[in-house]
Amino acid sequence: MRQKGVKIIAVVLICLGAVFPASASELNNPGYKNAAEASFPSLLSAAAFNKLFPLRSKFYTYASLMKAVQNLAQLKVQVEKRGPFIYKITRTDQRTGKKTVVRQDKDWNESWAQQKEYTTITIDYSQFCNSADPKTNQKELAAFFAQAAHETRDGADGQFNDGLMLKRELDTTNAYLAVNVVYPAVPGKKYYGRGPLQLSYNGNYGFASDCIFGDKNKLLSDPDLILRDPVVAFETALYFWMTPQGIKPSAHEVITGKWKPSAADQAKGWVAGFGLVTNIINGAIECNHGENVAAMKNRTAYYQHYLRSFGATDVRKCSCGSMQPFP
């Protein structure tokens, strides 16, 4: 979720996504009927996955991606807030219906806290690439793969064959530590980017661990679990994709069109599309700097590549060059 080495690729920053005929791509899914009948394996075969990532690390397997999708599909997480900073998180195992409060900040029941604005959101992880509309699922998977490919690439520009090569960022000198009373860094541990979307900072590791495992210490105490277990690596990426962060909507809500911008959002240039997904992931570095930011262009080029592979199109804005970054 940070800018990597400068890699320049010339692309058109409005996602027209040239179409391949459906018969030309094994990634299309003509048998898809509705959300109830859909399953992620029917959207993406092992052969298609391997074709999209021919130089991938052996760590990242189709089976581990499928297992991560299946694991998280069993989870719902309700995030309640009083004001912007006081949280209560309830995790539900949909197989058993068991609900567990995995986080409740110490001030949650204070009378002054109860006077704060109350908000709540429920994240259903089974909704990843599980819309009733197959084209929406193709666009979401193309966007997810585009961001993951950019974050983990280690090859030549313009080939689009080098995604999922890196398990962690190359420079591990930065520990990515931030003061966080709920998710404090464990002494001696570093929270640099790991996994397909390069999960970073102790706060994100703890929050992800609460949602995925119901235990913040699982990843806070052992961040290298993401490097040892490919299922966990993909789970952290899916968690980040599906979970809103602060005032940011989730990448899932944005790319599927569920998120609707307010007038204030639109004034900042925040409109639904792949460009806003990039803003969510790395806006402070890549957005609002014009149309020639190499990393932003690379993400967009990957998205166009995967859209073509799926025989899909997306006419929404893919650039974040004129978007204000999220604070």
Query: Which residues lie across from 81 on neighbouring strands?
Result: 87, 119
Q: Side-chain half-sphere of 148: how many Cα atoms within 13 Å?
A: 25
* Residue-wise DSSP of 116-151: SPEEEEEEEGGGTT--S-HHHHHHHHHHHHHHHHHH
Query: Would you tell me how many other CB atoms lie within 10 Å of the CB of residue 169?
Result: 18
From CA 265, how far away is CA 28, in angstroms rounded?
A: 34
Phi/psi of residue 140, nearest 5 degrees: -65, -45
Residue in 140, 151, 235, 253 annotated catalytic: 151
Amino acid at the residue 113: A
Q: Which of 130, 175, 169 is nearest to 150 (CA)?
A: 169
Catalytic: 151? yes
Sign of CA dihedral 160, 165, 169, 170: negative
Place of tokens 């692309």: 11
Active-site residues, by number, are 151
